[in-house]
Amino acid sequence: MSKNWFAEPLRFWKEKLLSLRNTGKPEDKDKKDEDADAWLVNALIGRIKAEPVRNSRLVNVRVEAKDPALAAKIANAVVQAYIDQNLETKLTAAKDAVKWLIDQMDEERKKVEISENALLNYKEMQGIITNFSNDAENITAEKLAKLNAQVVESESQRVEAETRYRQALAAQNSPDMLDSISQVLNNPLVQDIKKMEVELYNRMSELSKKYGAKHPQITAITSELATLQERKMGEAKRVVSSLRNEYNLALAREQSLKQALNRQKTESLDMNKKAIRYGVLQRDAESSRNMYELLVKRFKEASLTEEMKTGNIRIIDRAEVPKAPVSPNKTRNILLGAVLGLMLGIGMVFALEYFDNTFKFPEEIKNHLDIPYLGPVPVFDTEEGAEGAVGDLITVKDTKAMASESFRGIRTGILFSSVDTPPKVILVTSAAPSEGKTICIVNLAVTMAQDGSKVIILDCDMRRPRVHHVFQLPKDKGMSGLIAGKNKLDDVIFSTGIENLDVIPSGPVPPNPAEIIGSKKMTELLDELKTRYDKILIDSPPITAVTDSLLLARMSDGVVLIIKTGLTARQMVKNALEQIESVKAKVLGAVLNAIKADKDSYYYYQYYYYYYGEDGARKKKRHNKKKRSGVYGRKPEIAPSESQL
């Protein structure tokens, strides 16, 4: 329940509470301040709690105070004040309801009288004796159906009578056609005449043979036959007249039934119209009557509530003075704090792990990318204030270091990625900037050169070149000048001071790197270098940044993708692989860079074998003390080798 639920009752018994708390002290009403009263009420509300008891209609009222007796008094006073206020509110509402219902009943009574009078007047005007009902509608429908059937039957009878009459009328003047009329043929008199004619014809035939055709008896028979023929024609006319009468009767009956059907339809439509209007008036009267009866019922209930003067709330158990404090529970608070702190810490760890969508372990590369995993590159040490090659070239600085061993392992994985035709032109790139591809490519090149292969590095990252900085080479000559025709090939090939390893730096930054890399001269350059070197390693810009890398990927035998631990999002790497596959380039594998292989990590135990002998123990001790940094750490100085002089 909200605090507003108790606001009005608290204001009602505030003065009573003050008298309970300050028993024996006179109340000085002149010194009351409205702000102080408001503060007291708000402070008291904050100490009161009303909680419903589950599976019941009970409410438990709790009051917290330093004085147990005062707490019990406040709890009982709150409940009693609420009961009084609830009863007062209920009685006030009942009085208002009674007054409103009386007004509404008067208005609704007038509406009932008006609607019932309107219904009665309409019945009188339309001559409606009985109320419309479904039975009356069914009777009307049955009449219409019966009349309609009779009309259909009368039409059929009229057609038959007319047909017989027309046939007889056409044949009445032709003695030969009279026999085709069934009514003439079946007439008893006509049948007797035909018998008499047959007998006369037979007799005339006998007399003709005996006396000849002119015998007086034959003449008499002929006269009798003519008389019979006239009688037959007369009977035929009588039959025709009878058929005409039948036809006229059928026609009259048909017309009479059609008129009756039309009258019934008109009466039905008129009745339907009356029924619709009658129904509207009847529903209006019933609605007004029902509303009036409902108001009368509510009026009786409200009047009864007003007379009873009883509320629907009562006290089950009054508050008693507690024997022991309920707050604070120190043991519970300590345990709760510990549990919440533990849960919060675990939740934060899981949240960080859930929202981290970068690569941190080799298994993630295998599961999410479906490409070969060439190996890890651990974070390796640098020296303060170093500038030049050895700071980045761990494979030169410490050949027994864990990072050096990692680069040799990656070199082996690249060389054996295709046993029959090992890759000669290798592109080393990344999905995004700052993943350490340049340091990886120079150390891979060193390990290949140490293995006896003649290696050259091409710095094709013309927008952010860095290879010349690693080997401390001039940047005024390089790839851009060579492709543009400003320099010759031998002028831009620089020795690194490391046996079997040369470099072609990027040279001055050109305005159009993509056009230079995609030119025909670039292809011719690679063909020339293939004749001079065993391995050609190309440092390119990130795949997702520019199109330079895709142009170089098509010219390469394979692509090595550098992924920095905890930096590059998985989706970005997937996008880079899709772009590489779109140009039909082969992916040799992925390298997980900048892994923290410290003493307590998984990779420490995996590469621990690089510590060996007394020299190894000394390096291990120095390894634990030195500052660890990424592959972009500061570089120490070294003395140039003989090949550099």
Question: pLDDT tens digit string along 143-156?
Answer: 778 888 888 888 88
* 166 domain-assigned: yes
- Residue 599 — φ and ψ, nearest 5°? -65, -35
* 317 domain-assigned: no
pLDDT digits (tens, 9 = 90+) for 377-431: 998 765 533 444 445 789 999 989 999 999 999 999 998 887 778 899 999 999 9
Q: How is residue 587 annotated by DSSP? A: E
* 64 domain-assigned: no
Domain containing residue 512: CATH number:
3.40.50.300
Whether the ω angle into residue 376 lies within 30 degrees of 0, i.e. cis, is no
User: Which residue is it, tokens 């000559």?
Assistant: 477
**Percent of the chain residues topping a pLDDT of 90:** 26
Are 219 and 351 within one domain?
Answer: no
**Do 619 and 370 touch, CB atoms closer than 8 A?**
no
Measured distance CA(500)–CA(23) in Å, rounded = 104
Characterize 39-75 residue by residue with b for buried, 16 or more Cβ atoms within 10 angstroms of its Cβ, and e for exposed: eebeebbeebebeeeeeeeeeebebebeeeeebbbbb
Are 490 and 584 within one domain?
Answer: yes
Measured distance CA(130)–CA(134) in Å, rounded = 12
Nearest to 90 by CA among 304, 353, 259: 304
CA distances from 395 to 148, 208, 386, 407, 448 (A): 113, 159, 16, 8, 11
Measured distance CA(434)–CA(468) in Å, rounded = 17
* 36 domain-assigned: no
Q: Which segment of 85-99, 173-187, 238-252, 605-619 scores lowest on mean pLDDT?
A: 605-619
Query: Per-residue pLDDT for 471 more than 90?
Result: yes
Structurally, the chain folds into a number of domains equal to 3
Are 544 and 596 within one domain?
Answer: yes
Give the N- to C-terminal CA distance of the chain in Å, as an integer: 89
Tokens found for residue 203: 């007799």
Are 457 and 605 within one domain?
Answer: yes
Q: Which segment of 325-329, 434-438, 562-566, 634-638 scores lowest on mean pLDDT?
A: 634-638
Band of pLDDT at residue 61, cut at 50, 70 and 90: confident
Are 483 and 622 within one domain?
Answer: yes
Amino acid at 368: H
Query: Per-residue pLDDT for 282 more than 50?
Result: yes
Query: Per-residue pLDDT for 433 more than 50?
Result: yes
Are 445 and 581 within one domain?
Answer: yes
Are 371 and 351 within one domain?
Answer: no
Nearest to 450 by CA among 391, 378, 399, 523: 399
pLDDT at 364: 86
The residues near 412 (Cβ < 8 Å, ≥ 6 apart) are none
Are 196 and 343 within one domain?
Answer: no
Are 387 and 513 within one domain?
Answer: yes
Average pLDDT, integer, range 275-281: 72
Are 366 and 353 within one domain?
Answer: no
Average pLDDT, integer, range 342-348: 87
Are 537 and 409 within one domain?
Answer: yes
Parent domain of 185: 134-300
Residue 592's beta-bridge partner residues?
376, 563
Query: Per-residue pLDDT for 25 more than 60?
Result: no
Query: Per-residue pLDDT for 634 more than 50?
Result: no
Average pLDDT, integer, range 34-44: 72
Average pLDDT value over all residues in the chain: 77
pLDDT digits (tens, 9 = 90+) for 494-550: 999 999 999 999 999 888 898 989 999 999 999 999 999 999 999 999 998 888 899
* 229 domain-assigned: yes
Nearest to 231 by CA among 200, 203, 208, 206: 200
* 616 domain-assigned: yes
Q: How is residue 130 annotated by DSSP? A: S
Q: Which of 62-66, 170-174, 262-266, 437-441 has the highest mean pLDDT?
A: 437-441
Band of pLDDT at residue 348, cut at 50, 70 and 90: confident
* 139 domain-assigned: yes
Measured distance CA(79)–CA(89) in Å, rounded = 15
Are 278 and 405 within one domain?
Answer: no
Average pLDDT, integer, range 358-376: 88
* 250 domain-assigned: yes
pTM, to two decimals: 0.47
pLDDT digits (tens, 9 = 90+) for 303-327: 776 666 666 777 888 888 877 777 7
